[in-house]
Amino acid sequence: NAGVTQTPKFQVLKTGQSMTLQCAQDMNHEYMSWYRQDPGMGLRLIHYSVGAGITDQGEVPNGYNVSRSTTEDFPLRLLSAAPSQTSVYFCASSSTGGGTEAFFGQGTRLTVV
């Protein structure tokens, strides 16, 4: 049982480049989410999904896109990377979001230069 698999683990981008962070879970969870972690700011919600075909914005959605074509996968796209997007990104899944344990991926350390 792999849980939540997130790739890549590290990435360096140049300003203006685009990329996709991959996230997959094998627990048949309906709820998936993306967070960014910055020093002194905790875990801030970027986007979330309550099931295939359904996504919504979180606290800090600007500059990011998501889609949910299957229950298992929830990729995060950076459209045009900016230095302000330098952060550690975590994907998480849970059966229903609030009220249940969130399982996190291993994280992606992204640096935009």
Partner 1 sequence: GENVEQHPSTLSVQEGDSAVIKCTYSDSASNYFPWYKQELGKRPQLIIDIRSNVGEKKDQRIAVTLNKTAKHFSLHITETQPEDSAVYFCAASNSGGYQKVTFGIGTKLQVIP
Please report, as a single letter, which amino acid is at residue 54: I
According to DSSP, the β-strands at 87-94 and 103-104 are: antiparallel
C-alpha span between 110 and 104 (Å, rounded): 17
107 binds partner 1 (CB under 8 A): yes
Do strands 10-13 and 108-112 pair parallel, antiparallel, or not at all (unpaired)? parallel
Site string for partner 1, 13-32 (x = CB under 8 A): -----------------xx-
- For the beta carbon of residue 62, count every other beta carbon within 10 angstroms: 10
Q: Which is nearer to partner 1, 84 or 96 (CB)?
A: 96
* Number of residues binding to partner 1, judged by CB under 8 A: 26
3-class secondary structure, 89: strand
Query: With binding defined as CB under 8 A, does residue 61 bind partner 1?
Result: no
Among 1, 2, 10, 40, binds partner 1 (CB under 8 A): 40
How near is the Cβ of 44 to partner 1 at its closest, in Å? 8
Radius of gyration of the chain (CA): 13
Give 63 or 97: the residue with its C-beta nearer to partner 1: 97
Residues that bind partner 1 (CB under 8 A): 30-31, 33, 35, 40-45, 48, 50-51, 58, 90, 96-102, 104-107
